[in-house]
Amino acid sequence: MASTSLGFPSLQLQFQIQSSRNSPLFNSSFTRRHVRPISASVSEKYPSSSSVSANPPESDLTKPLPLKNIPGDYGLPFVGPISDRLDYFYNQGRDEFFKSRIQKYQSTVFRVNMPPGPTITYRSQVVALLDGKSFPVLFDVSKVEKKDIFTGTYMPSLELTGGYRILSYLDPSEPKHDKLKRVIFYLLKSSRDSVLPQFHSSYTELFETLETALADKGKANFVAANDQAAFNFLARSLHQANPADTPLGLDGPKLVSKWVLFNLGPLLILGLPKFIEEPVIHSFRLPPFLIKKDYQRLYDFFYESSGHVLDEAERLGVSRDEACHNLLFATCFNSFGGMKIFFPNMIKWIGRAGVGLHTRLADEIRTVVRSNGGKITMGAMEQMPLMKSVVYEAFRIEPPVPLQYGKAKKDLVIESHDAAFKVKKGELLFGFQPFATKDPRIFERADEFVPERFVGEEGEKLLKHVLWSNGPETESPTVGNKQCAGKDFVVLVSRLLVVEFFLRYDSFEIEVAPSPLGAAITMTSLKRASF
């Protein structure tokens, strides 16, 4: 799920949701005015969205904020970054690392070191923005620069991307940014007729895999099955190629996961002993030559499968080779990575919500699909307010892009809810997105998964605070910003997963374990549809 820091947003699929099955699937004019209210009956279990918003009192909005110095410090050179890294990964863990400093400084804006630090990089000093009011400055490309900070304080070797700075690492001010983003837009527009049928086909295979494993072993690994289904879906729908019919075979997910490790290893906890993980993963880069052959297999697959897109790239002034490396990155790192992380997380939250939510989702989805001739269409999904709210709530409570960065283009004054802070030109700004999207000053019951949070007109107003796509949910990606190029595509396929799932099943049970990327989900029960 691109154009974000350390994230996996998928490719751009700008579409206008239509109520007619025969209406165009995609429309580049999808803008804020097309966001419709989500309306549904309110159950006794969950309050209406008006009771789960927490907008500050009007007096707070007009009250002038005091100008304060940014609290915190970076410690001694080398020692400070290493100490913060050990706290971040081991001594405290990520969430407590930030919470403890908010409490210490009594501020959601402060100075701190972010991993990986020495010896991978000596640029670790950031100004942290950990609330829903200060965080959005990271989206404003008139104030912040996004050049080479996709992964934050360090940049992976260009040998991992064919020697090119990929679109995700480009600032919109760079001429190549416009051309490459247009290539991705063309890719998705040209595949618009394949998305719905290929998703149905690929995820029917996933469901059958889960059912077989449950019958044989009493449990099923959702993550492994989802990885294969996601890769197959993206290859079939975006590139019109079935991996199993090519030399790549079924190896795509495994190769992508290894390659992503070489890109993001310095930011991950792999579960290895600390005395191994620290020097091997967090202190030195894994040598790119170890992944070269695997990457070449992926490159060959996309080069052979994307001829017409490469033709369009040449027309726009981008070489076929550079375009192919960008297509690979957008499909594998951004899109596949997004589905690998977000789909298990969404299943986790829905699963934990219990059978009551499952029953209401199944009833809403099946009723609407039946009334639309038994077909899943864009218009039909627009008539599923609970389903849509559930998807948005999953994006809010656990956004697939946790870390965001931006370098100040000029001297700035950044406001939190309680104070204003001066930031100097060139300072690196950092935002931890889960704290921004669970800001209790914006959302009531901010740490709870509330399925109907975005239902109705009051719920719709909260969508501007759903920020997973490197921009508000109420705005759209363009060649001039860094909002996730595939924002609408990601929302579409996430809705499709929920719809396909509850057309087939009444309810399900899961076990959840931690994972370096997303959650490890094991299915322990799947109850087939009974009504």
How many CB atoms within 10 Å of residue 219?
Answer: 16
Whole-angstrom distance, CA of residue 372 vs CA of residue 376: 8
Residue 262: helix, strand or coil by DSSP?
A: helix
Q: In what order do the strands lie in the sheet with 412-415?
A: 67-68, 420-423, 412-415
Burial of residue 300 (CB within 10 Å: 0-12, 13-18, 19+) is: middle
Instruction: Determine the angle formed by the axes of helices 355-371 and 337-353, rounding to 10 degrees.
Output: 110
Handedness of CA 443, 418, 95, 431 (dihedral sign): positive
Query: Was 484 annotated as part of a binding site?
Result: yes
Tell whether omega for the bond before 522 is within 30 degrees of 0, i.e. cis: no
Residue 176 CB-density burial (10 A; 0-12 exposed, 13-18 middle, 19+ buried): middle
Q: Order across the sheet with 505-514: list the strands.
A: 220-221, 519-528, 505-514
* Closest C-alpha among 478, 498, 480 to residue 488: 478
What's the CA dihedral at 324, 327, 332, 338 to 10 degrees? Answer: 170
List the binding residues for heme: 484
List the binding residues: 484
